[in-house]
Chain A
Amino acid sequence: MKGILIRKDLCIGCRACASACEHGIIQIEETKEFRKIIVSGSCPDECKNCKDVCPTEAIIGEKPTSPQEVLFRLTLCRRCGMPTAPEPMLNFISRRMNQPLFELDLCITCRQQLMWEAIRER
């Protein structure tokens, strides 16, 4: 048995590790304000799933079992106030797309609605 540690300085708060963890050790809890990534125990030696999928290589091994919580505040949609994604994740997108961060502060529903409101207004 071994443990994993999520480096808070590298983690962007996406869902890759939780989706990949077949053992249910990494779970995500989400409220209107926060996303919490919870590591609840130690893992089988052979399993590398979470490390393989992490976009920023933020998961490291070797440390012994220790429950961990990584907390992110969810950026709120500038149009409707509903939660969107953790800011580090939006930063990740902003950097890769070479796009200002403020343009990304829209939730999915607002993006969908804006798509057609823009046209119908005319």
Chain B
Amino acid sequence: MQSMASWKIFINPERCIGCHACEMACEQTHGGASNIKVQCAPVFCRHCEVPPCITVCYRNAIEMRNGKILLIKDLCTNCGICIFACPFGAIMTTTITRRIEPKEKAHRDVPLLSRLFGGKIFPKERQIVLVHKCDGCVERAEAGVARPACAATCPSGAIECKDIAQASSSKRIRTYEVHLVTHLTHREGTSL
């Protein structure tokens, strides 16, 4: 089994057949919310060497560990700022509904209430927009499984797990990296 530090996920968009298997595999591995979005090829966290998301996170809720960029749920406030810092749009959101417990309901002004809630006085539920992103399938790695779910499932071999040393020597990968950086953000360090 490769240790987490040494591998990186690479996507070859020309191989993508748009089947959505990666989204489904990711979703099943991560409690029902996919960290991948297929837009003509799968988009997910590139685990950049100089990550914009870490730069903007005011809570230090994103950190680099073993070459992977991890969002720490316990520290994350779901503010959504990092979503717009990521040039790839790789940070995802999922809206969930959570119940509001009766004993927690506080006093409210009536006029505003009837305007907001159409006559219902105490809202029973609220929507939360959860922020999440690829974690390099940390749990699978810890369980001794070599590949992340997306790479394991991809039927066409568009998502590959490569040793970093092996990958950086590949001419094609370098070309993608340079082109993408120039086109989108003019920033160095954000990597493909």
**A residues engaging B (CB < 8 A)?**
1, 12, 14-16, 18-25, 27, 38, 40-44, 53, 55, 65, 67, 84-85, 89-90, 92-93, 96-97, 99, 103-104, 106-120, 122
Contact = CB atoms under 8 A, between A and B. Distances in A.
Given A15-B129, A23-B106, A40 B179 contact: no
B169 interface: no
A120 B180 CA distance: 11
B84 A85 contact: yes
Contact size range, B? 35 or more
Contacts of B66: none
Interface string B84-108: 1111111000000000110011111
15 contacts: A16-B79, A41-B107, A41-B112, A53-B77, A53-B79, A67-B112, A92-B81, A96-B55, A97-B55, A99-B187, A109-B39, A111-B89, A112-B37, A115-B41, A115-B184
Nearest to A1: B107
A40 B104 CA distance: 14
Interface of B: 13-14, 37, 39-41, 43, 52, 55-56, 58-59, 77-81, 83-90, 100-101, 104-109, 111-113, 116, 123, 125-126, 128-129, 176, 179-180, 183-187
Contacts of A111: 86-89, 184
A41 B111 CA distance: 11
A96 to B, nearest CB: 5
Closest 9 interchain pairs by CB?
A: A111-B89, A41-B108, A16-B79, A19-B78, A14-B79, A53-B77, A67-B112, A108-B89, A112-B89
A12 B125 CA distance: 25
Contacts, number: 143
Given A41-B109, A93-B56, A115 B39 contact: yes
B179 A122 contact: yes
A104 B126 CA distance: 29
Nearest to A110: B89
A93 B112 contact: no
A122 B87 CA distance: 20
Given A19-B78, A24-B123, A55-B58, A113 B40 contact: yes
